[in-house]
């Protein structure tokens, strides 16, 4: 799930093709006209083929003799790939598909993060606590604006996964971060979110105390708050008078 380099003609071509496939502009099962795409995108055939190799590695396209290069069924796509997630969110904030994907990712977080934080509570080091404290402090700062708050939130959850000292769980940050960053952007555009610091502080305190059960409870409370904020931002839950925040 390692992201590819997005720079230059190669990166631009990958992005264009991926978004067309994900939007359905190039539908599942369609055979690609490479000559027409080469002319339209104004790239060499070699560059086009190299870009398609990126999509093939993510399960989105395939090439067969006599049939050529075609779009595979969505069931074959690597939907947990960080780039595939990012491309889906790039379609625009607030669409029904966008919201459904965020809720799906929320369910994934609800499975992964409560279990991960139990491990973090049992295994955390002083260095892990320092990283969590730094992220929480940054989260409470207002001067940096929304972008700063989003990055601080990502840093906190990244540090939690790192504190598990399980290299496979640490790699899950690539799945969680795509949805978390997008969700934070939506919540920051709404005036109805709750203050994120207390819920994150509760998680950190339990991790510091090396209390796995308390850490799991605190994480589940945090995730419930995240759902409330997203629902309020989309107008599906009554607003409260609590302040704007990210989760």
Query: What are the residue ranges spanned by the domains of the chain?
Result: 8-76, 92-233
Residue 246 has pLDDT above 50, yes or no: no
Read off the pLDDT of residues 211-222 as tens digits, 9 standing for 90 and up: 999 999 999 999
Percent of the chain scoring above 90 in pLDDT = 61
Q: pLDDT at position 177, please?
A: 84
Rounded mean pLDDT of the chain? 87
Residue 120 has pLDDT above 50, yes or no: yes
Q: What number is the average pLDDT over the span 78-101? A: 76
Rounded Cα distance, 159 and 101, in Å:
24
Q: pLDDT at position 244, please?
A: 38
Query: What class is the 8-76 domain?
Result: mainly alpha
Q: Which CATH architecture has domain 92-233?
A: Up-down Bundle (1.20)
Query: What is the dihedral angle through the alpha carbons of 141, 227, 211, 171, rounded to the nearest 10 degrees?
Result: -80
Q: What number is the average pLDDT over the span 212-241? A: 81
Rounded Cα distance, 100 and 97, in Å:
5
Instruction: Out of 47-56, 68-77, 193-202, pick the least confident.
Output: 193-202
Q: pLDDT at position 141, please?
A: 83
Q: What number is the average pLDDT over the span 155-165? A: 97
Q: pLDDT at position 191, please?
A: 62
Rounded Cα distance, 49 and 22, in Å:
18
Residue 245 has pLDDT above 50, yes or no: no
Residue 173 has pLDDT above 60, yes or no: yes
Q: pLDDT at position 179, please?
A: 79
Q: Taking the model in full, what pTM does it have? A: 0.80
- Calculate the alpha carbon distances from 75 to 22, 28, 29, 151 in Å: 12, 10, 12, 32
Of residues 204 and 107, more confidently modeled:
204
């Amino acid at each position: 799930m390692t992201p590819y380099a997005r720079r230059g003609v190669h990166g631009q071509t990958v992005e264009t093709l991926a978004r067309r496939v994900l939007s359905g502009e190039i539908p599942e099962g369609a055979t690609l006209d490479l000559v027409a795409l080469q002319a339209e995108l104004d790239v060499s055939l070699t560059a086009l083929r190299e870009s398609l190799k990126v999509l093939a590695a993510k399960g989105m396209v395939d090439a067969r003799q006599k049939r050529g290069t075609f779009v595979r069924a969505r069931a074959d796509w690597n939907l947990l790939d960080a780039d595939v997630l990012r491309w889906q969110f790039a379609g625009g904030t607030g669409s029904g598909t966008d919201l459904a994907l965020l809720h799906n990712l929320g369910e994934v977080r609800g499975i992964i993060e409560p279990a991960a934080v139990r491990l973090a509570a049992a295994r955390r080091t002083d260095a892990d606590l320092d990283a969590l404290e730094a992220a929480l402090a940054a989260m409470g700062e207002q001067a940096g604006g929304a972008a700063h708050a989003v990055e601080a939130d990502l840093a906190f959850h990244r540090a939690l996964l790192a504190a598990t000292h399980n290299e496979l769980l640490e790699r899950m940050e690539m799945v969680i971060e795509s949805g978390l960053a997008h969700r934070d952007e939506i919540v920051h555009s709404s005036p109805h979110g709750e203050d994120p610091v207390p819920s994150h502080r509760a998680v950190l305190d339990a991790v510091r105390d090396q209390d796995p059960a308390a850490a799991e409870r605190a994480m589940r409370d945090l995730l419930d708050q995240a759902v409330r904020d997203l629902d309020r931002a989309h107008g599906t839950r009554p607003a409260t008078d609590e302040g704007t925040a990210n989760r």
